[in-house]
Structure 1
Amino acid sequence: MIRLLVCCAAAFLALTSTAAACEGQVACPLGDRSYHLRVPDNWDGQSALPVLLHFHGWARQGDLIVRHDRIATKIVADEVLLLAPNGLNKTWSFQRAASPDTAFARAVIEDAASRYSIDRERIFVSGYSWGARMAWRFVCEDGDGIAALLAVAGTLPQDISCATQPAQVRQVFGLDDQVLPFPFGPGGDQTYPVALWREAFACGTGRDDGPWAARSFLTFQRTSWDCPGGAVVLDVHPGGHFIPHDWIPLQIAEILAAEQGD
């Protein structure tokens, strides 16, 4: 009996130590692939956690994302479970429908849910550059139940067909982006980067919300649409190809604050 208890205790310790090791710079294995996660600093160990699934840029991996000072900061660091899948060969398959990375990313969410209590009504999907395009692909194919798409400096072609859609979309893009040039629409239309979602949500005329800034050195011009099918926000800035300071955590904070105000 004692030997049995010792064996059970050893097995339990092995499982808990393995779970504890799967965090931060130590990747969580998932089949023949892996992902990184960051548990929020203020978690009480029981409450269901909002989730941010973030797709890294080209030639990066998830270990950077969970310590990124423009992603894993503010409300994300304090209150959100951050999931960072690792792309095969440090890239993503977003060009065509039925992306294998869509299924992999969904498996990441489910694996994390087996480890931690997650709030399935507050799952956010974000990405930067190549990862923004993958984030678009994910919500196009598996977006039902996703609280918001938060895309930075990357889109998909506006004439593709999306089988699913998130509850809302927020996009940021630099007018001087030299890596993925700003996708101007007909006549130089600056709202074109979200044309697909405006059509999917049956949006009307957008609202000019004027300039705003997260940091004093970068000003955004915001246009927003409150639509029958969901909400769309586009932030445009004069800069290039980068993740603006605080933009991702501020979008999550705004969305969660609006929910609490209802």
Structure 2
Amino acid sequence: MAGLRARTTALSLAVLAVAGLGWAGRAEAGCGADISGACEVAQGSYHIALPGGAEGTSGAGETMPAVVFLHGYGGSGAGSLNNRRLVHGLTARGYAVIAPDALPRRDGPRSWNFFPGWEGRDEVAFLQGVAEDAASRFDLDRKAMILAGFSAGGFMVNYLACAAPDAFAGYAPIAGGFWRPQPAGCAGEIRLFHSHGWADSVVPLEGRFLGGGRFQQGDIFAGLELWRDTNHCEEYAPDRRWQQGDVLRRRWDCGPGADIEFLLFPEGHRVPDWWPGTVLDWFETPLRGAG
């Protein structure tokens, strides 16, 4: 993991150093004849934005890290790329932004098939396929990818991380945890960066019932307890507590290659403007004890 942090940090610094040559912006990329069109894979599609000036498949031998960002209920990959603060905040640091498309649920709005027992696409396989395809097409570093998501996308992040912890180098849900009953255990340790709004009424911290009581969003703190157990954290109490402006932060340094950061901000159901830079600072910081 230390080598990964060093590579991503060095790449980000290199990107910032050549910002004057156009690398700090954003470049829409696509597949086929339409440069802004969706890229098709076996089970669906995705959209992608690259740092400005990065054309992909350059053959130069340098690969870029990436954030795979999952949209919320009713959203789309193209809609995620329209969030300019989000996308520019990531591409300006040298990261590609990969935005997959969920499928319509029962002929309704798009959403992710995350809950065990639901019928539909195997999202764990699909999202790993998206990552592999994008890495191949656009010269991305498959081992330096964060899986992030908002709301329903945040729930999907947790469920994929629980089922396939080695699929991505880090996991960063926003406003999404587990549903009830939450998993009894997860398959392995991860790096987790969870952000949530104190005033969120769509995905309240304590959870809520949906569908006339048929479904229940879980308690976010219960989900963090599951991750502390999975990550073999030494204590339930955090290793560090601090505040940056109006954002409350807690951190657990856990087993080898594993950590948890939890950020609580005073707003509601949204992706904070500061999130892109903060999640990348977390991802690029070496873990405690990394050699």
Instruction: State the TM-score bracket (shorter-chain normalisation).
Output: 0.7 to 0.9
Which structure has the highest helix share of the two?
1
Indicate yes or no: 2:72 matched with 1:61: no
Taking a change above 3 Å as real, the CA distance of residues 100 and 37 of structure 1, as seen in their structure-2 partners, is same
Cα distance, 1:42–1:93 mapped onto 2, change above 3 Å: same
Amino acid in the other structure paired with 1:160 = P
Taking structure 1 as the reference length, the TM-score comes to 0.79
User: Are residues 94 and 225 of structure 1, via their aligned partners in 2, closer, same or farther at CA, if it must alter by over 3 Å?
Assistant: same
Q: Secondary structure at the match of 2:86?
A: coil
For 2:165, the equivalent position in structure 1 comes to 143
- Please name the residue that 2:66 is paired with: 51
Task: Please list, as runs of the form range in 1=range in 2, the aligned pairs for 1:151-190 lying within 5 A after superposition.
Answer: 151-157=173-179, 159-165=182-188, 167-183=190-206
Q: 1:88 aligns with which of 89, 97, 103?
A: 103
C-alpha separation in 2, matches of 1:201 and 1:118? 28
Matched residue, 1:103? 125
Task: Rate the CA distance shift 1:154–1:94 in 2: closer, same or farther, 3 A.
Answer: same
2:42 maps to a residue whose letter is G
CA distance in 1, matches of 2:38, 2:53: 22
Give 1:242's aligned residue.
270
Give the structure with higher Rg (CA). Answer: 1
Structure 1 unaligned segments of length 5 or more: list them.
1-16, 214-218
CA–CA separation in structure 1 for the residues paired with 2:34 and 2:136: 13
Give the whole-Å Cα distance in 2 for the aligned partners of 1:223 and 1:97: 33
Report the RMSD for the aligned CA atoms in angstroms: 2.8
Q: Which moved more, 1:40-49 or 1:223-232?
A: 40-49
Alpha-carbon distance, 1:116 to partner: 2.0
Name the SS of the counterpart of 2:84 in structure 1: coil
Q: 1:176 to 1:160 in 2, by over 3 A?
A: same
User: Aligned pair 1:225/2:246, yes or no?
Assistant: no
Amino acid at match of 2:133: D
Q: TM-score, normalised by structure 2?
A: 0.72
Alignment partners' CA distance in 2, 1:193 and 1:129: 15
Q: Is the 8 A contact 1:48 1:119 kept in 2?
A: yes
The number of residues matched between the two structures is 235
Query: Kindly tell me: are residues 166 and 84 of structure 1, through their superposed partners in 2, closer, same or farther at Cα, counting changes over 3 Å?
Result: farther
Name the CA distance, whole Å, in 2 between partners of 1:106 and 1:178: 31
> What is the DSSP-based 3-state SS (H/G/I as helix, E as strand, rest coil) of the residue aligned with 1:108?
helix
Post-superposition offset of 1:74: 2.3
Distance 1:226 1:165 in 2: 15
Provide runs of 4+ in structure 1 moved above 6 Å.
Answer: none
Q: What one-letter code is carried by the residue in structure 2 that aligns with 1:194?
A: L
Specify every segment of 5 or more residues in structure 2 that has no aligned partner in the other structure, as ranges: 1-28, 105-109, 208-218
